[in-house]
Amino acid sequence: MAQAYKTETGSGGSGPERQGSPLRRLADRWRGGIWRRGLILAAFAVVLALVMLFHAQIPNTVGNLGSLTETFLPWLGLLVPLMLVLALVRRSATALIAVLVPAFVWLNLFGGLLTDKAGTGGDLTVATHNVNAENADPSGTARAVAASGADVVALEELTDSAVPVYEKALAGTYKYHAVGGTVGLWSKYPLSDTEPVDIKLGWTRALRTTVTTPEGEVAFYVAHLPSVRVKADAGFTASQRDKSADALGEAIADEKLKRVVLLGDLNGTMNDRALRAVTSQMRSTQGASGDGMGFSWPASFPMARIDQIMVKGVEPESSWSLPQTGSDHLPVAARIEL
């Protein structure tokens, strides 16, 4: 009997040996490496999450690194599935758990753009397109934009020789238009109080006009901010763009009408802190109504949304990208509620 009692206790009772077995199994797995493997990968995942979460804290003092990161911020999400595969290959529980952190941060920042929030209402359809100064088919580009059904269309990067082509191609759809420098606005409704906007360039690349819609007056701004470049010796060269953005923001802040729409190529994304003078007081139609990421440049393989439709005092209902034209940008359109 005594021997049987010993055997029963040792093989499966509720004694200390059984209670300690989960700890032993955990220790065995640790010694086997499932938790110790992939520590560098796990650390990289945490750093990636911190970069996305605190991108606004990355300084611009060296090569505008902060703005460069913010321009392509959504693309950092591509590193998440790559790290997930590496964690599985390494059979690292630590890395697998760590990869969840940047995945959660990315979804928190950009997940809303993946859901369809487009409304069915709206009073006015607007569109904007950088038509490209070297566009070989300006009339075809004009017809494509007009076919969108937009009530108001802004065009940027107009050349003196191309303006008459656009005027002729759009005349049948848009009764009213105004051109200033390299930007223009075509409208089905009357325009008034049109004037250039000084964005500190020395020539006109922005204008302001009043569109008298059936729902009342709306201030429209068309702008083409200076281009930016990524150079090995200078980083993200955007100082002139940043100065122009500040000047545009001041002009919009001084606007007397309560309803304002900004159309144009801002050469920057909504995440870029350098456009804060504009983005802090206006709402992106793309971010509010959803068209996926809505990237607009370059047209052959869009990587960033630098063509913007922004509003103040009106509600965005839907937004979308238009088919590719002869330009290196995609046109973008939106429906807004006045």
**Mean pLDDT of all residues belonging to the chain:** 88
Q: Are 168 and 155 in contact (CB under 8 A)?
A: no
Determine phi and psi for 9, rounding to 5 degrees: -70, -45
Q: What is the pLDDT of residue 293?
A: 81
Q: What is the pLDDT of residues 108-165, one digit of tens each?
A: 988 877 766 555 678 999 999 999 999 999 999 999 999 999 999 999 999 999 999 9
> What fold, for 124-337?
Deoxyribonuclease I; Chain A (3.60.10)
How does pLDDT run across 163-185, given as a tens digit for each residue?
A: 999 999 999 999 999 999 999 99
CA geometry: angle 230, 231, 233, nearest 5 deg:
145
pTM here?
0.83
Give 31's contacts (C-beta < 8 A, 6+ positions apart): none
Note whether 317 and 122 are within 8 A (CB): yes
Token pair of 249 as six digits: 């923001």
Computed on alpha carbons and rounded to an integer, the radius of gyration of the chain in Å comes to: 28
Give the three-state DSSP class for 142: helix
Pairing of strands 332-337, 315-321: antiparallel
> Coil, strand or helix: which one is 235?
strand
Alpha-carbon gap, residue 183 to 225, rounded angstroms: 11
Strand order, beta sheet including 124-130: 176-180, 183-187, 152-156, 124-130, 332-337, 315-321
Tokens of 229: 């470049």
pLDDT tens digits, residue range 32-72? 577 778 899 999 999 999 999 999 899 877 777 888 888 88
Amino acid in position 173: T
List the chain domain ranges.
Answer: 33-114, 124-337
pLDDT at 191: 98
In 3-state terms the chain splits into helix, strand, coil percentages (rounded to 5) of 40, 25, 35
Asked if residues 114 and 291 have their Cβ atoms less than 8 Å apart, the reply is: no
Determine the number of helices (DSSP H) and then strands (DSSP E) in the chain. 12, 14
Q: How do 307-312 and 191-196 pair as beta strands?
A: unpaired
